[in-house]
Structure 1
């Protein structure tokens, strides 16, 4: 089996939110996550707001503090331990791992031309020596992102949301990264534009051999785009599997609830959505046992006292639930 490009081993990200040095309270936004992202894959990460998806993505970019466990990057050329990365190695990792932001309106400076926006990573990282070389790289990546040469002279206010997101994508890719985190990168776009940007990302992935961590709320988008999906709840992974297997046979009650909420055009499917009662608990006051038991319709006393671990249920399919075997025949 090939070495994964990104590996997290019991990864934890915690923030001290105590009001004083004497009263320390730790918020664990990511709590003991283990996963592997294969090189060249399109890996999806889904879950409700507040589940820790963005924090996990930022930790894998070395943009959020890793306070426990480990995370590693290995592209065959270099191997980095992200927990101790600093100095020259951190600068090199910045070239290899990049982020596509969610909001295409807030992510671009209104005072810079598109050419300067895309060229900025090259200049800051010292990847080109002359302006002519910089311009050549900018034109090359702009063409891959379906931007015309005339667009490079304009300012961001002259573009639609979809065009701005293509500019953001070009800026993220101009340094030649191997790993890209796309954090809700189509959430702010119209549905028709979403499809265009998603197809662009898939085309770029194939052409450049990139590895994506695609963070999203929209399961239909994940189904269209991703090879493998991990479901996150309150800082932990509750289920992970290849996309087709997960959609055909979800095992965790939380995954089933998310899938049942996907809108359907079939009028006979009305009312089939499984309503989850209550809100996701606060990360500062997490329930004991299974973190989902406060909202799970199938919870028993064991779920309230003992936290389940990720268990292999099939080829590359893992689930964290005490009762997944009993619930196989229970409809979503």
Structure 2
């Protein structure tokens, strides 16, 4: 693995066994043979419809969901961990290096704890500070970085707006000094103006603290503004991944183009040409053969229905899993 890669997954699979007969037990594969490589200091975006496996992939890289196949590796300047087999003291150490920012700032904070206690809890649980004074100093430091006043530390969560609560959640996630942070729809529940404020805060913290983010989102405009590299996920698999500018300039997979065509325009005279996807995303328990997207793809041919395309890089750093992407790209009007 390159020294620039902080966290890497190779054909990572997350499966959940379900009920069935003794001879035939079914397995729900929420993530199916996904390979990703996240560079240090990057803002890696992950997009896709609900149910595509984005959150499960993020949880697996945090060692919060079972890795049932493939491998995942974390490596910084101090340690290297195989996430599939991580446990015991090594897992406890990894917890301070990899943290999660939750989606809902209203449900993520205990209403019975003060802001100070909420932010301090990871330090106390992990035993990262030797005294209350040291804990308070660290809490005040990270609170200031997250634009929280000292007087806020004495209050309870109900006294704050959604944006302020999310800044509290961010402070709690960063107080242990992590290097890798998964932000799971962390601005989806906020007003648009507050979203911009929180996103700018995350970018500032990334630069100041040298953080590496996996940013999970449905909002493609937010991803375009924030992320350096974007991966598109469908039914537990990656279908396309590329640097953000390259992906938004010329998406190659039909699914990605359908997602991008649905981005609303600020021009009131622009009627748009949104591509409607027929049907629902298939069940992970009953996945179609061949390309998983062929049941909804207007460009599917017989080969798509029988042979599953692999995610490949043609040599320009823009990976795509589609049999017909070249000819479809040539057909796009200039």
Displacement of 1:316? 1.8
**Counterpart in the other structure of 2:17:** 16
Displacement of 1:19? 4.5
**Counterpart in the other structure of 1:292:** 293
**Counterpart in the other structure of 2:112:** 111
Q: SS of the residue aligned with 2:326?
A: coil
Within 5 Å, give how 1:182-193 maps onto structure 2: 182-193=183-194
CA distance, structure 1, for counterparts of residue 21 and residue 171 of structure 2: 43
Alignment of 1:39 with 2:72, yes or no, is no
Q: Deviations over 1:186-241 (max 9, x none)?
A: 00000000000000000000000000000000000000000000000000000000
Alignment of 1:326 with 2:330, yes or no, is no
Within 5 Å, give how 1:99-248 maps onto structure 2: 99-248=100-249
CA contact (8 A) 1:29 1:234 kept: yes
CA distance, structure 1, for counterparts of residue 325 and residue 268 of structure 2: 29
Q: SS of the residue aligned with 2:91?
A: helix
Q: Deviations over 1:133-154 (max 9, x none)?
A: 0000000000000000000000
CA contact (8 A) 2:265 2:272 kept: no
Report the TM-score, using the length of structure 1 for normalisation: 0.98
Displacement of 1:106? 0.3
Note the aligned Cα RMSD (angstroms): 1.1
CA distance, structure 2, for counterparts of residue 331 and residue 154 of structure 1: 56
Displacement of 1:128? 0.3
- How many positions carry a matched residue from both structures? 332
CA distance, structure 2, for counterparts of residue 325 and residue 267 of structure 1: 33
**Counterpart in the other structure of 2:54:** 53
Q: Classify 1:91/1:20 alpha carbon distance in 2 versus 1 (closer, same or farther; 3 Å).
A: farther
**Counterpart in the other structure of 1:311:** 312
Runs of 4+ deviating beyond 6 Å: none
Displacement of 1:265? 1.8
Q: SS of the residue aligned with 2:120?
A: helix
Displacement of 1:311? 1.4
Displacement of 1:120? 0.2
CA distance, structure 1, for counterparts of residue 3 and residue 46 of structure 2: 21
Mark the runs of 5 or more structure 1 residues left unpaired by the alignment: none
Q: Deviations over 1:6-48 (max 9, x none)?
A: 0000000000111465541100000000010000000000000
Q: SS of the residue aligned with 1:321?
A: coil
Displacement of 1:268? 4.5
Q: Deviations over 1:82-102 (max 9, x none)?
A: 000000000000010000000
Q: SS of the residue aligned with 1:166?
A: helix
Report the TM-score, using the length of structure 2 for normalisation: 0.97
CA contact (8 A) 1:3 1:74 kept: no
Q: Deviations over 1:281-313 (max 9, x none)?
A: 000000000000000000000000000001113
Displacement of 1:269? 3.1
Q: SS of the residue aligned with 2:116?
A: helix
Mark the runs of 5 or more structure 2 residues left unpaired by the alignment: none
Displacement of 1:271? 4.0
